[in-house]
A and B are shown apart, each in its own frame.
Chain A
């Protein structure tokens, strides 16, 4: 979607889009171990999500997001990339 509209990497530069980063396998395993969670316990993000497309994420990858938070300053979020998601074609 993103590339079709010619947005390209610009998606990531938008002020409302927080910093996204694709984790390496080692980092991903470390995150899961730290959380004591299985991959399917994480919040999901569709492969078709503009950000996931720009990052070139594949189903099973984990994306780290640095969100700005009212209470906690900066908060780290993790989302797992999935192939299908409700409401997304």
Chain B
């Protein structure tokens, strides 16, 4: 509601953010506690003063009052503390910067080791670069660092310089004539203190008051308790947060170092304890530093310290900022409903009663909304909350679940109030299925409340979501603001996504039964009686006169082509090949006796059957595509919501099923196949014989063994093809299995041949199955068996049944497919992530250039041709042939 919208109005707009290092002064100013003890609680259970559970870290218990700000747990923001380190330590992720400075500056005077003149020159370049080419400034400073590090004598004070080496993760050595000397953090810090404005050249922003020595910590900031809450287990024991454990470790070690110093312990002991402190602090910041210690929870689990909180998929950035959990959303199993519009989604009543939409009461909807309020929160369509708004615009929230006087509240409603009502038919929602790989993964659907517990969606929208109904779940989101709703209706509605922006073809459309149904309806042999026509047309929602029947005797019969034509735009033109236009049914022009060339003129299907190439999803330049392109998305949606229903209905009328008989081969075919198998097996044995004699000619670039393998594979592949041809020739091309394969509804001739006749050679990684035992794949065979059956050749088909060894080889080859899909999804998912991160804020400007958010030009013309594929004929912006044909038809029509 617009009242809510005000909350989103920009009041203070950030124009920049600057990150830097927190200075010790800043830390001391922030800190309300100095941690001096590693223990958390006294024996009586009260928190230790000066420990990590000191009450000055802020109030977190219910009823607790903060000793610092006087607020209770809700109001207290939490307060920082500090640990004053006995000796300074390096902070792990800053060591690279420290290394740069140590290399490039003088060890005595702290200046960058370059002559004054050069410094001035570089500085002037640097200043200009930093404004316009920040990326180049970085590279430039790297260059300067390298150049300065070359200098062996300081040009300013003349001091001799030594080479610095950095050994990961935390050690710096100086190569002096007397040998390698380790630089301890105190020395490093004092060197960093010497440096001045020269550091700008090395890429440091010292002008705004930042100092490099802050990268060596002298005091550590301790986060408030709210950042590291402790949990009370049901046993009454307290479990502290990992950060508290890490900090306690630091505090204990720090006290130990302090004590050693105070008691004048030998320097080596102090050094050791100091080193230990250094490692613990490093682990507190990042517990996965290579080459450093790990802080552990009783030697078992590594502690999750600061870096671990931010890093990775479940870290703060990816887990909580990029991916948030949201309200006003629902998730459940999906199931199909071919009789709702593709724009709709079936929502279970239970969900419709849980999700609400805020509506402002107006004089025009007052009565309608009163009805919702009277229904209360449990009866659909009802309302859950009412906001009574007074003259000053302040709202009072009423929760109808805790009231019984719904009628009274309904009477008191007045324009200006806001009511959170149930979802009702006609609301728009966002519907989404993961993985959300493209924009069609989240589309706007119109709500249709239904009985049951699942979301219902039209089968035709399965392809864009890549959904099926074997247990898939989908998410639903309710837009809350008018702006969001308008955007959903205007841009996200399913019908606006019939064409994909990837290649311009339709991504919404029929599959499987729709395809075979369309074929059965429009095939030449199909005629429909008046009753059948009524069924087909009524399910499509056709209103109008029946056309003249195509056949009058023995009674009125209509063709499927006639019925389909009723739904096409009157001047629609289309010409194209069918999927069945292959093999014996091939023809290349309108003069096609196999009915495999589609011709639609003046909105009438004159010739050709409809199958995959005409009506299916992801088939560019098909009938649906042309309708969507030339008559608009809404017209295409009407087609999908009408005739497509008659496709599945005609499938129900005609019937399509599969039986063993469909893949039964006659004895003569089996004999023929057996002969072929014998013939080719002999060829294989011949090849092996030739190889043993050494008469085999190797293929260039391959060894003799590889050549043999390849030739055997080729021979067996040829055999499979020949068997496939025999099987196809002896099977009835009009049996149901064949219809499915030919129309592209499901399966292929290969699948049929594998069922009816022979599986053929099984392969793992493109090779015959050679793994397993020494000199044989399975113990059922003799070593070095020359027969192809020993190496994964499956002679039988599914109809006959596989032998145990064949079954094993088939399983081995099948497993490879499963592994491939598993590997492929994870790899392509990561690739997708990286691509999206790289490209997400590129956009096409009004002048046609592609730019990023800084205005940098990426392409001078979008796609180098400035074409939006969604508005093209599969990539071509103009289809000249089509234009000519259309013009001819138009002229013929006017001449009449």
Contacts and interface: CB of A to CB of B under 8 A. Distances in A.
A and B from one complex: yes
Interface of A: 35-38, 40-43, 67, 69-73, 75-78, 82-86
A73 B861 CA distance: 12
Given A71-B867, A82-B133, A82-B136, A35 B860 contact: yes
Contacts of B857: 35, 37, 41-43, 78
A71 B864 CA distance: 6
Contacts of B866: 72
Contacts of A42: 856-857
Contacts of B860: 35, 75-78
A76 B866 CA distance: 13
Contact of A84 (B132, B143, B847, B851): B143
28 contacts: A35-B849, A35-B857, A35-B860, A36-B847, A37-B849, A37-B857, A40-B133, A42-B856, A42-B857, A43-B858, A67-B864, A70-B864, A71-B867, A71-B875, A72-B864, A72-B865, A72-B866, A73-B865, A75-B860, A78-B857, A82-B133, A82-B136, A83-B136, A84-B143, A85-B136, A85-B139, A86-B135, A86-B139
Nearest to B867: A71
B865 A69 contact: yes
A84 B140 contact: yes
B132 A40 contact: yes
A71 B865 CA distance: 6
A73 B865 CA distance: 8
Nearest to B865: A72
Given A35-B847, A41-B851, A69-B865, A84 B136 contact: yes
Given A41-B854, A70-B864, A78-B857, 6 more contacts: A36-B847, A40-B133, A42-B856, A71-B864, A84-B139, A85-B139
A41 B865 contact: no
Interface in B597-632: none
A76 B371 CA distance: 64
B863 to A, nearest CB: 5
B143 to A, nearest CB: 7
B855 interface: yes
A42 B849 CA distance: 11
Nearest to A40: B132
Nearest to A38: B855
Interface in B837-855: 847, 849, 851, 854-855
Interface of B: 132-133, 135-136, 139-140, 143, 847, 849, 851, 854-858, 860-861, 863-867, 875
A69 B864 contact: yes
Contacts, number: 57
Nearest to A75: B864
B847 to A, nearest CB: 6
Nearest to B146: A89
A83 B129 CA distance: 11
Contacts of A85: 136, 139
A71 B863 contact: yes
Contacts of B861: 72, 75
Contacts of A40: 132-133, 856
B491 to A, nearest CB: 26
A20 to B, nearest CB: 15
A83 B122 CA distance: 13
Nearest to A39: B132
Nearest to B851: A41
Contacts of B851: 41
A86 B138 CA distance: 9
User: Which 5 pairs, one residue from A and one from B, show the smallest C-beta to C-beta distance?
Assistant: A72-B864, A72-B865, A69-B864, A75-B864, A71-B865
A72 B133 CA distance: 31
Contacts of A38: 855
Nearest to B143: A84
B128 to A, nearest CB: 11
Contacts of B135: 86
Contacts of B864: 67, 69-72, 75
A84 B849 CA distance: 26
Contacts of A71: 863-865, 867, 875
A86 B134 CA distance: 12
A83 B140 CA distance: 9
B865 A37 contact: no
Nearest to B849: A35
B727 to A, nearest CB: 42
A55 to B, nearest CB: 19
A76 B133 CA distance: 24
Greatest chain A CB density within 10 A among B143, B851, B856, B858 is at: B856
Given A36-B847, A71-B863, A71-B865, A41 B856 contact: yes
A66 to B, nearest CB: 12
A35 B866 CA distance: 15
A77 B859 CA distance: 8
Nearest to A73: B865
Contacts of B143: 84
A35 B863 CA distance: 16
A81 B787 CA distance: 67
A69 B855 CA distance: 23
A19 to B, nearest CB: 15
A7 B406 CA distance: 89
A40 B851 CA distance: 12
B846 to A, nearest CB: 10
A37 B855 contact: yes
Contacts of A78: 857, 860
A80 B783 CA distance: 68
A38 to B, nearest CB: 8
Contacts of B133: 40, 82
A41 B858 CA distance: 9
Contacts of B140: 84
Nearest to B133: A40
